Amino acid sequence: MRDEAVNRVKHVFTLFDADGNGVLEADDFDLMSDRVAAAVPEAGEARKQTMRAAFTRYWNTLVAELDADGDGRITYDEFQACVLSPERFSGAVDAFAAGFARLGDVDGSGTVARPVFTGMLRGVGFGLPNIQALFEALGPDDGDRITVRAWEEEIKNFYAPDRGGVPADLLAASPVA
């Protein structure tokens, strides 16, 4: 596995452990979707529901595939097995990427404005300099917006164990210059 992928996996585990108790549980995903929804007050209820459903589905897939000892919680040791067989998660990751990125398209234009992008990723727990670096890497247009499609693809890259040197690495880099 590539070093960049290992770094992303460690970072993602820390982020997903939203309440910081050292293990992933259903409550973490509820907490995260609450924070993300709160970051985009202007998003419609339908988009929020899709986003929440994507978080829930993602958790259900993780616990079904990774909870080796069946205690309903995922430790880091259990979690890192996800990178060994990414094909088992691709459906849930695709839904997660789509539900998340499309929440940011609050006006249905197919684009996401910088403040919305920043608010949502702050909601998940990423650092502001990392978020800004990723936004720049996704090529904002003259109106300071990126396409939902570009963001969605980058979310999938973030979870791909065989990728490296992708813009998504910027989210796990520290510090970002």
Q: Positive or negative CA dihedral for 122, 128, 131, 135?
A: positive
Decide whether 28 or 154 has the Cβ nearer to Ca ion.
28
Query: Count residues contacting Ca ion (CB under 5 A)?
Result: 8
- Give the Cα separation of 4 and 6 in Å (integer): 5
CA distances from 57 to 7, 21, 82, 152, 162 (A): 24, 22, 15, 17, 23
Judged by CB under 5 A, the residue of 1, 21, 60, 144 near Ca ion is: 21
Per-residue interface string for the shown chain with Ca ion, residues 49-88, x marking contact by CB under 5 A? ------------------x-x-x-x---------------
Per CB under 5 A, 144 contacts Ca ion: no
> Which ranges constitute the DSSP H helices of 67-113?
76-79, 90-103
Decide whether 38 or 81 has the Cβ nearer to Ca ion.
81
Residues 135 and 116: beta-carbon distance below 8 Å: no
Judged by CB under 5 A, the residue of 19, 107, 136, 144 near Ca ion is: 19
CB of residue 108 to Ca ion, shortest distance in Å: 34
Q: Given the rule CB under 5 A, which residues bind Ca ion?
A: 17, 19, 21, 28, 67, 69, 71, 73
